[in-house]
Structure formats: C-alpha cells, structure tokens
A and B are shown apart, each in its own frame.
Chain A
Amino acid sequence: MDQGRNWAVVATVMLSAGVGLGSAALVGAQGQVVQAPKFQVDPLWPKPLPNHWILGSATGVAVDSRDHVYVVNLPTSFNARTEIGAAQNPPTGECCFPAPNILEFDPAGNLVGSWGGPGQGFTWPSSNNGIAIDHRSNVWIGGVSGTDTQILRFSKAGKFVGAFGKMAPPTPSAPAAAAAPDTAYQGVSGAGRGAAAGGRGAAAGRGGRGGAAPAVAANSSSMDAFGGAAAFAFDARTNEAFVADGSRNRRIAVVNMTTGAIKRVWGAYGAKPDDAPLAAYSPDAPPAKQFSTVTCAELSIDGLVYVCDRQNNRIQVFRKNGTFVKEAIIAPQTRGAGSVWDIAFSRDAQQRFLYVADGMNMKVHIVDRQTLEPITSFGDGGRTPGQFFAVAAIATDSKGNIYTTESLEGKRVQKFLYKGMAPVTTKNQGVPRDDGAAR
C-alpha cells in the first residue's frame, strides 16, 4: 500500500518532468518504430583544469582527426569581484584565474594544450567566437563583437598562420540596431536586472552593448571584410570555407581558403543578403525573408550547406553555390535568442542525423537530416551534469560522442557518450543520465 502510493508520487514527478515514463515507442508514418541515437552524459569529463583556471562563456567547440576537443572561451566574461579573485591586483583570493582562450583536451579529458589571446602580427578578436579545424590542421577563430571584422587562423599549437578580412575603422555613426553586437551569443549576460541579480550587484568585467569601442556597421555586401564571423565549414576538394557571417552581417560568405578572397555571398533563401533591422520574431508571422544572426554553417558529405538562422528558429539548407534547397523551423514558439544555435552531424556514413544545440530551450534536438523532422531531444535547464544553460556549440567525435559548450553563465564543456541506436519513446528525454551507473 505504502509502496503503491510512493510509486504514484514518483510517476507524477516523472511525468511533470516530461520524462514520460512508460510511454510506448514512437511509431513512424509507415508503422515502423522510430530509432534515434541515444546519449548519456559523462559527468566526469573533462578532467579538472590546472592552475585554478576556470572556463568563461564557452562559445565554440571543434574535434580534430585525433578526437582531440578544442574549446574556445571568453576570458572577458568573468565577474572580476566574485569569480577571478586570484587575477586581481592585489589578489582578493587564491581562486580563480581565467583559462586561456583556447583549450585542447585529449579524448580522456586531459588538458593537453592551451593558447590564445593577443600576440605579434595580429589583432585577437575582442570577442572570440566559434572554432573550426580545416583539413590542413589550421584552427580558424571568428569574432562577434561590434568591432570584429576578421577571421584568424593558427596552427593547432597556436602559432599564427594568417588573418582574413580587412580591419575596418570604427564608424561611430553606424545604425545601432543593425550593428549592435550579438550579446546572447557572445556570452555576455543580459543587461539590467539579470546581470545585477545574477552576480548580486557586480557587473564588472563584462563587455557587450554600449562598450567602449563604437560598433562597425553591418555590410553584407562587403567583399573584403566580415561582420562578426561566428562559425566555419570547409570543402577541402574545392578549397572553400563557408563562413557564418554572422553576428552583424546577415549572410553566408564563401572564401578561398588560401587567399581569403570572398568568392560569393548569399542571404536567406539564397537571395542577396539584407542588413535591414529585422522585426522581432513572431510564430504567427510568415517566415522572415532575411537571416537573423547567422551562427553556423555546416557542410554535409553530400554537398549541402546547413545554416543556423538563430532568432528565426530555423535551419536553411543550400547547395554549395548558394541555391536554396529547403528550410525547417525548430521549436517555432521560441522567442528571444532563438532555438537554432549550432549544428553537428552524426558520424555514420550517411550523416543521418543533425544535432541542434538550442540554447534558449536548454536542449539538443536530434533531427532527421533528410526530412529535417525533429525526432527527439535531450537536456534541460540547470547546472548539474547533462543540464544546460545556453548550450551554444556542438560537435561530434569519430565514435559518435557529442560535445557541447555553454555560453553566458553556463561556462562548461560537456561530453555525451554515444550509446548506440535505440527506439524513441519520448519527444523530450530530459536529462540523459545513467542513474543506475556504478558509483
């Protein structure tokens, strides 16, 4: 009797959590049981950082051919008073120091490399964002502050290789609406009440809107500079890079990987890009004719370019020449920063699945790549393993594991172990954890 009552309580809690305990497998249109990759968070990956280093807003993740995981984070995203006391003068405490901008982990989660920040011969972006590794083992870094107009390339060990895009002189008269940096993505806490309450009265150490340097105007027609490049994909065969450009511009730019020359650009639906201020997203309005913040560009094995149009909550798919193929709206009720933050492909030969990082709904969507139908999702809001705050970037390794980074105050990198294919029993799996694991 007692036991029965307890079970009833448990079931209620589970249901309200959206776990849907006991619900049958989802069935597809042809009556087949729907299968999807299954994941489980590894709560002890990566290993603790050395030297009292802490990770700032983590805005990008990439995995190289050896399954080393590269994370880019923002050393400017800390609260000086409460978070990095050891770095003050005089120090206010023994912890903590900002970790270097770029961290490299081996598959076991050991930190095996770290570099980044200002140096000789280049201007480090004022808000580094996005990281990608090309077939020549060069590491590409973007920047999404109001003044970042370049893409930087380094060796994996952090040696400067070259910069693409002209440094643009600031234009103080730039229209604010079009040129304001993308605060949600670059890891700057919301203004006003949020920042004050979240940090309890300490807003120090934050950049963002209204910062010192006047913003550069968006110019999606420019053929010699970028406007907040956020992410990159590469086509080794044609020597082309696809640039999500980005936080001020509203376009995909295709770049010669050797010279940096911009070869072609396009906006939403493959049309000429449009930098006009975009009306706030409404689920009731027809899909916007232009891009919002463009936060990813990913090239599939069959030659399609998948683009994250973040605040428009959509994925747009193109041929490499910019011809529009199709689009899908993900979580169409999402407002604010939007639902489509970053995309990674599953590692099967067909890349059957898209994994979409959704930093506004605090989850990862698992999407059928061909149909663009969301199949299921995992994750929820929170600070414990397998939960998210502003999951901003996503990547997969050769074994099919997923890595995510969290921006804003999430400030983590997490690993989700690929556990094979499994029947889908719920649209929302909640936190993917193994409560039966040997502990």
Chain B
Amino acid sequence: MTTRRNLLLGGGLVFGIAALGVGQAALEGSMQGQLVQAPRFEVDPMWPKPLPNHWVFGNVIGIGIDARDHVFIVHRQDALVQGAENGLELKLSECCVPAPPVVEFDPEGNVVGSWGGPGEGYVWPASNHGVGIDNKDNIWIGGNGAGDSHILKFTHDGKFLQQIGIPGKAADSRSTEHFGRVAKISFDTAAGEAFIADGYLNKRVAVLDINTGAVKRFWGAYGNAPSDTTLPAYDPTKPPDRFFRTPVHCAEPTPDGFVYVCDRVNDRIQVFRKDGSFVKEKIIAPLTRGDGSVWDIAFSKDAAQKYLFLADGKNQRVYVMDRQSLDILTTFGDGGRQPGQFFAVHSIATDSKGNIFTTETYEGKRVQKFAYKGMGSVPKNQGTVWPKR
C-alpha cells in the first residue's frame, strides 16, 4: 500500500515537472523575437573533404586542435553496422572500411595524417575515447572500455611515447597508480599539468604532472573526496547529487585559474579552482535524463575566453554561454543527419580563428565545422545554422 502510494506520488511529481518543462519551452518559444548579442556561427556543409580509400567513421568520440589548427579526431572502428556499413572490410562490396582510429585534417578539411591501433609497448584502449593535444603537439588518448584504466601518449604523427597508469584495473577514484575509463585529457601548460576527466568508471578529476604522468591530486563533486558509490538513476526532482556520476566527461582548465568539469548525467557544470576547491555549479536542461546534457566544453579564443561552448548530445545542440556568469546566451543545432544538425554531439573544440568543430557518436558518426561569423544579434534558440544561399 505504501509502496503503491509512493509510486503514484513519484509519477505525479514527474508529470508535474514534465508539464513545467513544456511550459518553459512554450515561454522560450514566445520569446524567440527577442535577440541577444553573441558569437555567431554557420555550419560549413563542405567541411571536411570526403575521406579517401572508402574510409568511414564509427562513433567519433574525441576531438583536439593543434597549434597549426589541424583537427585531430578519434573514432571507434568497431562501431560500424556490420555487413551493411563495412562491406569493403568484409569483402562484400566496394564500400566501406573504417578509417584508422586517429585522423588528422588540415584547416581546409583535407586528410593529412592517420594512425592508431595496437602496437609494441602499449595497450590500445578497448574503446577509444577523447583526444587531448598538449603544448608539444603530443596526442593523449583515453578509453572507456573494459580494462581501460590507462592513458596513452603519442607524437603528433602517431609514434608511441608513454603509457600512463596500469591497464586492466577496477574502479578506484583514490588511486594514484591507475585511472578508471578516462573520457578526456586537457592541459594547463603554464603549470605543466594535465587534467583528466576520470571517467566512465572512476568519478573524479585527476591532475597529473604533464611530463612524468604522476598523479598530483584529485577530487570529486564540490571538491570533496571522490566516492565510487553507485548512485540511483538521476532524478530531476531530487536535490543535486553530492557526488559525480559516471561519466565525468570533461575537465577544462582556463588560464585565469579555473577548471570546468562536465558532470554529464547530473546535467551540470561544476567549476573549481585548480587546487580542487569548489567555486560554483550550473545546471543545464535539468529535465534531461539518460545520457545527460553536459557532454563537452570548449572556450572562445579571445584572450579572456569570454564564451563557453557546451555540447549537449542528448538535446542535440550547442549552448553559447557567458563563461563568467554561466548564463546561456543562445543555442544552435537540432536533431537530424543534415549539415548543422546533430545525433549525439559528443565532443567540441575551437581553433585559433574561433571556429567550432564538433563530433558525433552513436549513429551521428561525423565531424562538423561551424565557421565563426563574428558577433551578432541572434535569437535564444537558433535551430539549424545554415549559411545563406
């Protein structure tokens, strides 16, 4: 009897919240006439150039941009629809084969490098995840498959440099020896530190010495000691969780001393000082369930990094936010397979000219470029941002 009443109560609450969400959406719709000043973007439908050799991408699961504005992506070769999408690999047809795991594009969108996969002296991840490019243009790669408790470091053109952490380990968010399915690696080159979004098994941010790979410090949500406790499913009617959920999906340091962390399934950005002390948090699209709304973060390329760009692979859009206030200025994108639309926009990065690049996982399987068009007046929700004909 009690159980039944609780269930009913829960259902009523959920329904009420959902109705509230609809109301908010309608309100937003009625405010579409209202314009805001924000950086403006247009998809470049012809970027990148077609891949050579009948290559196709699986889930495109990480992106990084080097000092020359070359775009590196990592994808999952095994994520093709078997027999239908990889006919050339299976010798069934003339198309297609998976591209090598890491592909490098020049700014014009030509493929200028490709590498990756198992080799001597290291364990290639069971499931590729994330690309980070440090100040020496070395490429760091995480992984979120079974046994992926380490980080790999390669030169720009794929020569193995270092394996950080021990593969094959279980979750332990307090370990200084290994990681737990690392989602992404970013860098504070002035301090010589790497920030690890750790991850899909662990629930912490870990900070490494960029040269030795030694774990210097780590923390959980609100800067507390991390916990590996399993949490019940995210519930928008409950108070914010005291812990990170898996995956901790990004950890992005800024030159002014902060770290922006993607607590994906909790639908929130948490901001810390680089020592791990908590500063503030921002909830994004709190009714989002399942995969969550806070997937990846990139910053605008002005000296002050005035804007924060947030990829939301569940609601299929990118938020343009004021980095200081964490206010959402505008959004662009919508669901779909056409240029400028998204299916599970997973990773985001900016180049030196302020252009945005995104990748899509699941069946999105793309990398897209959004050309920076300067500041302008835009509606709160821009939808699909196409160039003018």
**Residues of chain A at the chain B interface (Cβ within 8 Å):** 9-10, 13, 16-18, 43-44, 46, 48-49, 52, 54-55, 79, 81-83, 85, 90-96, 184, 189-190, 192-195, 197-200, 331, 333-337, 339, 360-363, 380-387, 389-390, 408-412, 430-431, 433, 435, 437, 439
Contact = CB atoms under 8 A, between A and B. Distances in A.
A82 B46 contact: no
- Would you list the 6 A-B pairs with minimal beta carbon distance, nearest first? A194-B82, A381-B96, A96-B335, A43-B45, A92-B289, A381-B95
Contact of B337 (A92, A192, A380, A383): A383
Nearest to A336: B92
A91 B80 contact: no
A334 B80 contact: no
Q: Which of A9, A383, A412 counts the most chain B CB atoms within 10 A?
A: A383
B87 A409 contact: no
Given A194-B84, A433-B46, A54 B336 contact: yes
B291 interface: yes
Contacts of B387: 44, 439
Nearest to A193: B82
B56 interface: yes
A92 B92 CA distance: 38
Contact of B50 (A43, A198, A387): A387
Contacts of B339: 43-44, 384-385
A383 B99 CA distance: 13
A407 B288 CA distance: 29
Contact of B315 (A93, A193, A385): A93
Contacts of B82: 190, 192-194, 197
B54 interface: yes
B25 A198 contact: no
Interface stretch (B118-126, B155-163, B356-364): B356-364
B109 to A, nearest CB: 9
A94 B83 contact: no
Interface string B324-368: 000000000011111111011000000000000000011111100
Contacts of B335: 52, 54, 83, 95-96
Contacts, number: 225
B44 interface: yes
Interface stretch (B14-22, B222-230, B239-247): B14-22
B337 A411 contact: yes
Interface in B1-59: 14-15, 17-18, 21, 25, 44-46, 48-54, 56-59
Nearest to A407: B84
A90 B13 CA distance: 11
Contacts of A92: 288-291, 314
Given A49-B336, A197-B76, A360-B87, 18 more contacts: A9-B112, A13-B52, A13-B111, A85-B315, A90-B17, A94-B288, A95-B315, A95-B316, A193-B78, A194-B85, A197-B80, A333-B93, A336-B92, A381-B54, A385-B339, A389-B84, A409-B85, A412-B338
Contacts of B52: 13, 16-17
Given A95-B335, A197-B78, A381-B96, A390 B84 contact: yes
Contacts of A184: 84
Contact of A380 (B50, B76, B78, B87): B50
Nearest to A45: B338
Interface residues of B, number: 72
B81 A17 contact: no
A278 to B, nearest CB: 17
Contact of A337 (B21, B84, B291): B84
A410 B315 contact: no
B287 interface: yes
Contacts of A362: 54, 93-96
Contact of A90 (B14, B57, B95): B14
A2 to B, nearest CB: 14
Contacts of B49: 435
B54 A380 contact: yes
Contact of A336 (B18, B87, B317): B87
A387 B52 CA distance: 12
B138 interface: no
B46 A437 contact: yes
Q: Which of A43, A81, A95, A195 counts the most chain B CB atoms within 10 A?
A: A95
A43 B52 CA distance: 20
A360 B93 CA distance: 6
Contacts of B93: 331, 333-336, 339, 360-362
